[in-house]
Chains A and B, each alone.
Chain A
Amino acid sequence: MFEQVKKNKALAIIGGLILTAVVAAPVMAQRDPAYEAARSSGKIGEKPDGYLGYVTAPSPAIKALVEDINIKRKAAYTRKAQETNSTVEQFAFTSGCNLIMRTAPGEKYQTPAGTWNTRDASDPVRDSRCLN
């Protein structure tokens, strides 16, 4: 009887570990905590050109983080631009439209006029060429 319980417990733990691994796998592709923190604190924001920008003067750590992400973004835009037979700027701009739309309330985004706005419940101020 006791053996049975012990066995079940072991199985439950293994099952739990497997479940955690399955659930955690997509989370691995999520944002770095430092990046997430810089976004939500309003230190950095989304620009209309599809890249990240500094809202306030960046610390060396944030500067490195943003530069790294922007390089990766440019690589991704370049690859997709080739696939879709468009220019990097065109693909980056279209992505920027979507990225500004996806900002969470409290995060910063840059308007076409160049000012930094804080996203609220209403639609963000975007370029007239952006879709919904």
Chain B
Amino acid sequence: MMLYQTSQLTDRPYGAIRRNMRSLTTTGLILGAAIGLSACVQVSAPDKPIVINLNINIKQEVVYRLDGDAKDLINKEADIF
């Protein structure tokens, strides 16, 4: 019967344990990366139809150009404004 040091709980060589640990770490990293990546790529389809607002035909520059005429109309036909 061999006598072990209290800190040594196995008779396997130290290098073998290190190798085992390393492979475990690598597996863990790959698994983690895979899970992480798959989480990022996940896209859920919208349950509502996509609505594109086409209210872009009125631009700021148009408002700017027409503002004077609009004010003029409101002043001239005050009974309907």
Residues of A within 8 A of B (CB): 29-32, 69, 72-73, 76-77, 80, 83-84, 86-87, 89-91, 93-95, 97-99, 102, 129-131
Contact = CB atoms under 8 A, between A and B. Distances in A.
Contact of B79 (A30, A97, A129, A130): A30
Interface string B5-26: 0000000000000000000000
B57 A76 contact: no
25 contacts: A30-B78, A31-B78, A69-B80, A72-B77, A80-B70, A80-B73, A83-B69, A86-B65, A87-B57, A90-B58, A90-B63, A91-B66, A91-B70, A93-B58, A94-B67, A95-B70, A95-B81, A97-B67, A99-B81, A102-B74, A102-B81, A129-B60, A129-B63, A131-B63, A131-B64
A76 B66 contact: no
Contacts of A94: 62-63, 66-67, 69-70
B80 A72 contact: yes
B74 A86 contact: no
A129 B64 CA distance: 9
A97 B70 CA distance: 9
The 3 closest A-B pairs by CB, nearest first: A94-B66, A95-B70, A94-B70
B interface, size bucket: 20 to 34
B78 to A, nearest CB: 5
Given A29-B79, A87-B57, 16 more contacts: A69-B80, A76-B77, A80-B70, A83-B69, A86-B62, A90-B62, A90-B63, A93-B58, A95-B73, A95-B81, A97-B67, A99-B81, A102-B74, A129-B58, A129-B60, A131-B63
